[in-house]
Structure 1
């Protein structure tokens, strides 16, 4: 039987949000050739999905609306300080960027609340925040201000200044042995959910537009929800986590 071939097809990405001046991304279906008789191994080309919304070159600016912020994503280095090359395909998703444009703010009740970050500010944002757009040849994110975790003016996460109801915690090291003295292998150690508060944000806004202070302070030892927030490694080799105050479950004391 003669072999048939399905050629590559381009399908409009209708599920991608569109705005005036933004061109929706496309999904490219890889070509597929059915196996001929006598072949014992299948061979497929990978499926390529491009989820970035591309802004046409004729548009020279993006003005975020309401409490949204436009952030230029900071690309990760492809080479470690030790000279090891890390391909972008296996690098973690970036969580850092620079604010390039802001909206006019939002209203809470009868009060107008302006956005608390300015263009040029270096920020950390939530892992899955915003809508990614390709603008002026660089990757950007359009996200809500509430999705900004904090301001980072250095290259060390321990210097993070949390935003709103966010808190920065230095995670306690996992125990090497059980209470009965049994040594634990590194692979069997339970992920710690106890740590020391390093910094806290100014607190969430109430219905009057005022900040409500958080119920714990830097230096407190806390129990937190282990699956929440953004995790980082500091220059000192310690693990840090930035999360919402609602993910902190209790304050511990001896």
Structure 2
């Protein structure tokens, strides 16, 4: 059987879902060389995923239930400084424009509508949904709960979280140890403490009513280190959007 040699390399990508957001760096683990059969799509922990192509004869897509169709923001081809990026280093966007919504869902005896409308700019979870190629553009169909929030301006600090999401401004990295030693960049630990900037309306209970979140804007909180989506604001500050369940404590 014929084989093809595939190799991957470690890459760094930025997450600027909308114009005006500066990149926030996320590490992507490397994949070593491997050989696979031509018909095999899974190899050494990496799954090859291609967008489902919707044939031109279909002119519209109507999401069902609590699903939303989002037109993905175009991949950035240059850095902020104007340097052309190779394909391997180009950012996979985490945001786009809502182009169609489902009819919502029923919880208990209550009909719950979807919280976003067509034309709304949204940020969604990193690995959510199913990618579609439709009318020559890349789209994503996903559940409403996979939408992190609505971006009403070009700055992530103005993100409006949805459902049980919380937007936190990350505390600045400590420059020195408790003993006064200056830390190198490699030794600086990513903080897991920050200040709550905005909160969503809360999750839905079994009757379809909203349950208020246990944190409020202004709270200083300790959150899970590996949770959420990282962003960098226009002022250079780091932000993270995560679920309220990933907030472990309120500090005072």
| TM-score between both structures, scaled by the size of structure 1 | 0.80
Provide the secondary structure at the position in 2 that maps to 1:141.
Answer: strand
Shift of 1:226: 1.2
**C-alpha distance 126-50 of structure 1, shift in aligned 2 (>3 A):** closer
Which segment is superposed worse, 184-193 or 138-147? 184-193
Which segment is superposed worse, 78-87 or 96-105? 78-87
Per-residue CA shift, 1:191-239, capped at 9, x if unaligned? 1000011111111111221111111111111000010110011111111
Q: Which runs of 5+ in 2 are unaligned?
A: 5-35, 40-46
**C-alpha distance 212-182 of structure 1, shift in aligned 2 (>3 A):** same
Matched residue, 1:42: none
Per-residue CA shift, 1:5-42, capped at 9, x if unaligned? 9498xxxxxxxxxxxxxxxxxx9939xxxxxxxxxxxx
Matched residue, 2:38: 29
CA RMSD of aligned residues (A): 2.1
What pairs up with 1:1-254 in 2 under 5 angstroms?
A: 6=2, 29=38, 49=48, 51-253=50-252
Number of equivalent positions: 215
Runs (4 or more) in structure 1 with deviation over 2 Å come to: 5-8, 27-30
Q: Which has the larger radius of gyration?
A: 1
RCO comparison, higher one (Cα < 8 Å, 6+): 2
**C-alpha distance 28-141 of structure 1, shift in aligned 2 (>3 A):** farther
Which segment is superposed worse, 173-182 or 185-194? 173-182
Contact 2:69–2:100 under 8 Å retained in 1: yes
Shift of 1:167: 0.6
